Amino acid sequence: MIAFFLDAYKNVPTYHIVLEFIAFVCGILSVWFAKKENIWVYPIGLIATAITTYLLYLAGYLGDMLVNGYFAIMSIYGWYYWVKNGNQTDDFPITRTNIKEKIIGIALFFLTIIVVFCIYTFFDYEIKKDNYIDIFTAGLFFTGMWYMAKKKIENWTLWIVGDFIATPLYAYRGLGMLSFQYLIFTILAVSAYLEWKKILSDQETVC
């Protein structure tokens, strides 16, 4: 297992490894802050996604690059939205999606898939089998990020599924650190879902 991670970085520039490590640490911290409903999820996440977008651009993974570029934009939106609505749980509580938000989420999922596929086609990128997985997870992550900005508990369900899929995908591509990062993301997302579910249940009991 250790050899797998080390071999992937034998011919990689030092600055590349440093950037990936910073993104690795910031990415995990951002999920932890999200779990705790802490607004630091957004500035820390912005650092992680900006670096990851650059690294994926260098690696030529267009779908993943677009997802992380979107994360950077949504980090700014979510940051503003949380500040606007107040970062305290009483002012901006965790809620479930209503029918309208579910419909928007489904529409966003399919719209994302179509847009990413069209971008691959427009730039004449060869769409390999693993790229179809990129396109699918892009839909999950785009929608999950939007739900997170709204503090909807369903965001964690989408993160769990997407992270679980991404973990072996990055391992297959030889990106060991990213694979390990998404494994940690999966564990944290499950933990966050359970914590948010408990908070939501307590809120509903009080109401």
Per-residue model confidence (pLDDT) at position 7: 60
Tell if the pTM clears 0.85, that is, is over it: no
Q: What is the pLDDT of residue 1?
A: 53
pLDDT at residue 8 is higher than 80 = no
Residue 2 — pLDDT band, cuts 50, 70, 90? low
| Token pair of 115 as six digits | 């847009």
DSSP assignment letter at 150? T
Q: What is the pLDDT of residues 86-116, one digit of tens each?
A: 655 556 788 999 999 999 999 999 998 998 8
Enumerate residues 6+ apart whose C-beta is below 8 A from 8: 174, 175, 176, 177
Using one digit for the tens of pLDDT, what is the confidence trace for 146-189?
Answer: 999 889 999 999 999 999 999 988 888 777 777 888 899 999 99
Q: Which residue has the higher pLDDT, 80 or 127?
A: 80
User: Which percentage of the chain shows pLDDT scores above 90?
Assistant: 32
> Which residues, 6 or more positions from 171, have their beta carbon under 8 angstroms from its beta carbon?
4, 179
Per-residue pLDDT averaged across 12-18, rounded?
Answer: 80
- The mean of the pLDDT values for the chain is 84
Helices (H), 87-175: 99-122, 129-149, 154-172
Residue 37 has pLDDT above 90, yes or no: no
